[in-house]
Structure 1
Amino acid sequence: MQSSSSPTLGLWYDFRNPAQWRKNVGSMYRESIDQVVWAEELGFGSVWLSEHHFADDDYASSPLTIAAAIGSRTENMRIGTNIIVAALHEPVRIAEDATALSFLTDNRFELGVGLGYHEREFEAFGRRVKQRPSLLEDAIAVIRQAWTGSGEPFEGKRFSLPPMAVTPVPDVPPRLLIGAQSPVGIDRAARLADGVITLSNDHCQLYVDAVQRHGGNLDESRIYASQWAIVADDPERVWAEVGEHALYQLNSYIEWGSFEGPDRPEPFADPQAVLDAGAYRLMDASMAVDDLVSLATTFPQIRDFHYWAQLPGESIESGSARIEYIANNVIPAVTAKLGG
């Protein structure tokens, strides 16, 4: 297992099932959870679950249920959401479900929330995309208040909490994290959350600067760094096998509106264009170890690095090969260099 002074390495799941690589959904869920249990035995310290709705590729819509299933079969692994789209939910229910997960996992659950961006989801749930900031901030306030059990009311722009206690109260409130990829979102995480979930390593410095700007404690600040990389003994060979899956993944995010602002990319033409843009990186173990150790040394706020377990439509077996390679060649070296 990893040293407590070394960041955990984790796996990230979205359970996508694109038409061109269609699988039985139930089998995929069960095999993926089996994979998570196996990965914990290999030394992985976290698992992260994403959420979307009404997706043609069956993108996971119920990550908290999946989190409970994983929690029942693991012992030490931390379980988190990357992310729950808070605006689409009743925040009291999020607070209650997170409390239940905290009890069931002996305080191993971490709640990651974010703005969301897919307009179709907001319309279906009767929400307005332009109200995302206030929906998220009100949701966080309600969740925090619910976990206190105080019975104090809350009245926000979008959500409210009546003057009654939400029960039961967690023994230890789950860490509340915000996933963000813009300077405004990262500032919000520094202001309101217990940590940030980043989509680019370039955002670590933005978060540290924001924490200092708001007078926060850098020793208590937390970064959970999502990694967009293929780590393998021969990453170019593996990319030749999985590049089309990564191309599908990124182009669907672009289509849904994940990348906002003037730097929003055009859809990638082919897998090589993905690499040329730096959207995915190819690494062997030595490169990955150097990269992770450098990042964790520069930013001791990083508590976790996590990789996609498998790309949309990729087989469990293909993803497992990379998981085993990381477990054997990356985790021990990172632990030895940072905490050994």
Structure 2
Amino acid sequence: MTITTLRFNQVTPGLDRREVSARYRATVEMAAFADSHGFDLVTLEEHHGADDGWSPSPLTTAAAVFGATERIGVIICALLTPLYEPLRLAEDVAVLDHLSGGRLTLVAGLGYRPEEYTALGKDWKQRGKLQDHVLETLLKAWTGEPFDYQGRTVRVTPPPLSRPHPGLMAGGSSRAAVRRAVRLGLPFFTAAYLPELVEYYDTLAAEAGLEGGFATLPPERTAMVLCTEDPDKAWAEYGHCFLHEARTYADWQTADISSAMASTATTPEQLRAEGIYACLTPDECLAIARAEGPMGTLLLHPLCGGLPVDAGWESLHLFADRVVPHLGD
């Protein structure tokens, strides 16, 4: 059956404090609605120092979501793990694993903005070594057993609920990231449609005798969906919101970065033609689900780029009423 996902990053152009607060509360309330209406996943993100407040604290947001839900999973895609103190991160994630009943998955990413490393006192040029250090420490810490850490013996308690550890994937778009994933015995999350990296992972995993490892492959074209009865009207009213996010991504990324969200659009009309952001009727959503089959995905972005909260709710209710009940037909 089609996987239904809600994406949130709490972007608030202008950073009006009341609006920021409203969007965080709406994130939790929408997640609770999704939990009770058959959605499968909530996805959260991490950036720092963004002019529009792009969420810097997805673990805190995930905790709020888990407190308001019972069954829906949360994937943080991506958590910028080199920016964290490893032992505290191990503790925080272990507690979240217990609070959620094992519903948390992390994609460990390096990020692509040097200024984020500078702001948090980390060396951008050492990001690969930092990533190795954090991931190796997490895997040792989550055993619940004592281990040597920087010349001292430490132990992280409580050990997480999930065994052998909370959901953890190494993310990236390079062969080096694939090698890291296989070396650590982790699944690999591709940041874009890069089938050659999936093949590379499978080859290395087989050579290493890694059992249970896998690499994900996102759709060749990812679409952020706003469900609406009138796509033309929605684009006219909210196209600037989608464009804000698309241009933010474009300004952050360099030529060597591969991303499912890569856009060259400078107008809402160009963005609509690219198909990365889509305003779709319920029937169009169902047509996509049927065409993609049981492994397909529908990704809703109900607060995209400053989209009014009321408009996000309208989209979410329409999708829940007219799409979700028919995904198994």
TM > 0.5: yes
Q: So what's the TM-score if we normalise by structure 2?
A: 0.83
Alpha-carbon deviation of 1:56? 1.6
Aligned-partner Cα distance in 1 for 2:310–2:188: 31
> Which residue does the alignment assign to 2:101?
106
> Which residue does the alignment assign to 2:269?
272
How big is each residue's C-alpha offset from its partner over 1:152-191, in whole Å with a ceiling of 9 and x where there is no partner? 336xxxxx58432211111212110234345654665566
Aligned-partner Cα distance in 2 for 1:40–1:266: 31
Contact 1:231 1:285 in 2 (8 A): no
> Which residue does the alignment assign to 1:213?
203
> Which residue does the alignment assign to 1:143?
138
Count, aligned residues? 319
The letter of the residue matching 1:163 is: T
Q: Secondary structure at the match of 2:147?
A: coil
Aligned-partner Cα distance in 1 for 2:16–2:47: 19
Q: Which moved more, 1:181-190 or 1:36-45?
A: 181-190
Q: Secondary structure at the match of 1:148?
A: coil
Are residue 64 (structure 1) and residue 70 (structure 2) matched? Answer: no
Aligned-pair identity (%)? 26
Q: Which residue of 46, 51, 61 maps to 1:51? A: 46
Provide closer, same or farther for how the CA distance between residues 49 and 113 of structure 1 changes in structure 2, counting only shifts above 3 A: same
Provide closer, same or farther for how the CA distance between residues 328 and 62 of structure 1 changes in structure 2, counting only shifts above 3 A: same
RMSD: 3.1
Q: Which moved more, 1:102-111 or 1:21-30?
A: 21-30
Unaligned stretches of 5+ in structure 2?
A: none
> Which residue does the alignment assign to 1:169?
159
The letter of the residue matching 1:268 is: A
Q: Secondary structure at the match of 2:142?
A: helix
Q: Secondary structure at the match of 1:24?
A: helix
> Which residue does the alignment assign to 1:240?
236
Alpha-carbon deviation of 1:211? 3.7
Alpha-carbon deviation of 1:206? 4.0
Aligned-partner Cα distance in 2 for 1:55–1:38: 28
Aligned-partner Cα distance in 2 for 1:244–1:99: 40
The letter of the residue matching 1:212 is: D
Provide closer, same or farther for how the CA distance between residues 161 and 179 of structure 1 changes in structure 2, counting only shifts above 3 A: farther
How big is each residue's C-alpha offset from its partner over 1:49-87, in whole Å with a ceiling of 9 and x where there is no partner? 111111221111111111111111101011221221111
Q: Secondary structure at the match of 2:107?
A: strand
Aligned-partner Cα distance in 2 for 1:23–1:119: 30
Q: So what's the TM-score if we normalise by structure 1?
A: 0.81
Alpha-carbon deviation of 1:199? 4.9
Q: Which moved more, 1:105-114 or 1:272-281?
A: 272-281
